[in-house]
Structure 1
Amino acid sequence: MNERLNESTSATIKSIIINIVLTIFKILSGIIGSSNAMIADGIHSASDIITSIGVLAGNIISKKPDDDEHNYGHEKAETLVGFTLSLVLIYVGFKIGYNSLLLMFNLDKIKTPTYLPIIAALVSIALKEYQFYITIKIAKKINSPSLKADAWHHRSDSLSSIGALLGIIGSRIGFKILDPLSGFIVCILVLKVGLDILKTSANELLDYSITKQEQEKIKDLIMTVEGVNYVTSFKSRKHGSYIYIDLSICVDPNITVYKGHEIAHKVEDKIKENIENIKAVAVHIDACTVRYNQKKH
């Protein structure tokens, strides 16, 4: 677990450093180069700093061991951070959309930018796509919801820079409407990402279970354990990037308590050996004389 969190923390710290430099560069380029779009894009990058700090805080909290008040650990801190980041994304999306609509009806307020904001936009796109690629790769590897949310925030910033670039170029060649129109399209993309992350995080906070396919895979594994006649019940819940499983199995009622306990241990070991990110498995023993075909029930 520590190695997993260390990878997430390392990626997040690098993101914070890059975003601080990028934010200053973009805002100064927007001011010097007379580009409202680039100033707004710089502010969007500043929001990345805030969200990355949130991910860092989530990682630190997640490292804390189980205690008397949190018997199941602190991994849900990651999901909570992911939920918070999704709200930030939605806010940023609405803000971009609102400002874009205002500019669409006030084109006379848009100044013709210089080449400096174009350079800033290109640098931003390259860096943000690099950050997205690295962050999403680590997020998938360690199954971190907060890091995935942060990765998509990098992608949203890249899209914002693309919109700013198109707007700047459009403004320079005489099509001022392209600036706010591009911003409005970016806002829709940002909102979609934010809402998707919000839905996933909310489900995990509400103890969302694993997929039907994952459940069937685990049940098939359980039925390969000698002595298991049937899986009576199966419950699962997400806990940050980890999974808790509570299940009941049917065994021969004539075996000893020790033998039943041994079968339960084998079931637990089988699941943990074959399924990633399992934190705990609770196995309850029921008695039944007949071995059922699990797939028929």
Structure 2
Amino acid sequence: MTSTTEETPFVVSLNDNVLERPQSSLWRIFHGTHYMIGALNFCIGSCMFFPSVYNNYSFALTIGGWLFTIGSFLFLLVDLQEWWYHRVGCCFDGKYRTSLETHASSLFRNPRNTFHGRYERAEVGINFFMSVCGSALYLAGSILFIPVFRNELVSGEWLFIVGSAFIHVSQTWKVYRSACTNIHDRHDRRFRLSNLLKDIPAFGVDGFAGIGGVFYFIGTILFLPAFNKTNMDAVRVAVLFVCGGTSFTLSALFLQYRYHFTHHD
């Protein structure tokens, strides 16, 4: 948060589209750096679940649990930051509401005082809040992965499974919305794969994050005691975890490229 935000009231220009207001360099650095570190923590933490690692190093699972916990905490910070930016039209947006209705109302098909109108305005905020829920579930589950909570490991696994489902659905929803967004005609909301190609870095960010959620969803199900009985079972789980962490890291790399190597107003 910049100092000018705290020292003086922020006034939204009536000529600005509040749904596409610019993000500061500090905002992008904070968001991108935490996402990258979180993804790397997941990737490295996943390696701790190979039997050849934890059988030779007694502290490996402890390190893995802590890396997942730190990574999940950073993901939660990232998602909260992004949700707060995209909350306009959803909630806590009083200072933007007049500008939204004055300058972005043409983007909505229904008036604000109808159910469909409220949903249209809240859709993006709900989508990003789903990511917040997924990261929060990851954090709760990751804490229970730490061996000191070994008696609660199964509960942690189920929290991680549900969190992965939230992440995948949220990211798939983002990809779908992108495919329905024509940057040249915002009133054209038809689903087109060509729309995704107009912002490939954004597609990479959301697509790889969604794929990462799938790998952790399947991997954590197979981590449950009913399916994880032999060393080969454990290797299968660790491979899926590493694939998930790698997908998150690729997503973070696409985000870095988008923030630092593409044009921003």
After TM superposition, the score normalised by the length of structure 2 is: 0.39
Q: Comparing both chains, which one has the higher relative contact order based on Cα–Cα distances under 8 Å and sequence gaps of 6 or more?
A: 2
Larger Rg over CA atoms: 1
After TM superposition, the score normalised by the length of structure 1 is: 0.35
Higher helix share: 2
